[in-house]
Amino acid sequence: MDRSDGHFRAMARLLPADVPAVWHPVDDALIAGPEGLLRDPRELFTPDVVTQLDAVLGFEGTLSRCRDQLVHTPLVVNLTASTLMGDHTRKVTVMSIADALRLGATAVACHLNFSAPGENEMIQHFGSVVAEARRFGMPVVAITYPRGVRGDGSDENYFGLRAADPDGFGRKVAHAVRVTAELGASVIKTVYTGTAESFQRVVDGACGVPVLIAGEEYDRTPEVLYRAETAVEVGARGVAFGRQIFERKDPASFLYELRDRLRIAYAKCCSGAAHSPTT
């Protein structure tokens, strides 16, 4: 991992020292189309939302359009893309680190789908991005999922396996996470595995690289907060929630509650009380 002063300072901006991080990915506008408050992201990034975010992850279009609102918010520029209209599991390069620096990025991100047909190419590209980013002291975020392709061409996210066998799913996620940790990821965004025990394997396997959980499909139930709390209690460094924020009518209220719940979970993690035999 990069040990330069630039990398250290950038990581300090992205991950606050004493509270779990809350990142807001808005890259779904490219992937799935302009849904929810992403129809016009300028309506999303109100002061009461922006002040609760530690970073925003996205592509040039949204980040440039909202630059006045996000002038004090760390930006993570996604260098890779695909859409649901095409070969969604095969991420291709759409920007360079130089482009991201021009936008004022604090970090860059690359998406890797493991067990997808283009896995080897995505691994190769990620390694080259890490090597180049190291020259600038820039953190590289790995968006890391086990995601293949079913016989009918649809995505295989292995969520059936998660429901039936969280430990088996956890091993898949842990392997995918470990690959990007080995290649020099600074932060890893991945999917929750279903149980505290199975996600503990993921955190341990990351070898100290901070792990954030994705929000997945929009969920109105308390389950999304439970997943976030449980992940942080076993060592996740925070959340990277997209749809859980931009599809809500009142994202600010949700963020207030999320942050409160994450602070309590983080205190349990730091005290060693979370999921111990005595709790």
Q: Which of 27, 28, 54, 192 is catalytic?
A: 27
Catalytic residue among 28, 189, 192, 266: 189
Which residue reads 């994705």 in tokens? 214
Pairing mode of beta strands 92-93, 80-81: antiparallel
H-helix or E-strand containing 271? helix 251-271
Euclidean distance between CA atoms 202 and 236, whole angstroms: 9
pTM of the model: 0.94
State mean pLDDT over 247-262: 96
Residue 29 falls inside a structural domain: yes
Q: Is 13 exposed, middle or buried (0-12, 13-18, 19+ CB in 10 A)?
A: middle
- Sign of the CA dihedral 67, 70, 72, 74? negative
Is 189 marked active-site?
Answer: yes
Q: What is the pLDDT of residue 272?
A: 76
Closest CA to 110 of 137, 133, 79, 132: 79
> Could you report the per-residue pLDDT of 59-84, keeping only the tens digit for each?
999 999 999 999 999 999 999 999 99
Query: What is the CATH classification number for the domain harbouring 39?
Result: 3.20.20.70
Interval 162-213: pLDDT, tens: 999 999 999 999 999 999 999 999 999 999 999 999 999 999 999 999 999 9
The verdict on whether 268 is a catalytic residue reads no
Instruction: Give a yes or no: residue 56 inside a domain.
Output: yes
Rounded Cα distance between 279 and 272, Å, is 10
The span from the first CA to the last CA of the chain, in angstroms, equals 35
Which residues are 224's β-sheet partners?
none
In a domain, 133, yes or no: yes
Please indicate, yes or no, if residue 147 is contained in any of the structural domains. Answer: yes
Residue 275: pLDDT over 60: no
In the structure, what pLDDT confidence band is assigned to residue 147 with cuts at 50, 70 and 90? very high
| Domain membership of residue 103 as a residue range | 5-271
Q: Specify the number of domains making up the chain.
A: 1
pLDDT, tens only, 3-24: 789 999 999 999 999 899 999 9
| Closest residue by Cα to residue 139 from 97, 176, 174 | 97
Is residue 84 in a domain? yes
- What are the beta bridge partners of residue 56? 24, 75
* Structure confidence at residue 1 as a pLDDT band (50, 70, 90): low
248 domain residue, yes or no: yes
Catalytic, 218? Answer no
* Catalytic, out of 2, 91, 145, 266: 145
Rounding to the nearest 10 degrees, give the CA dihedral for residues 227, 229, 233, 235. Answer: 70
| Strand extents, DSSP E, the chain | 21-25, 55-58, 75-78, 80-81, 92-93, 107-114, 140-146, 148-149, 155-156, 187-190, 211-214, 238-240
Q: Does some domain include residue 276?
A: no
Measure the CA dihedral 196/88/220/18, to 10°: 50
Which token pair is 25? 């990915």
Let me know if residue 40 belongs to a domain. Answer: yes
β-bridge partners, 114: 146
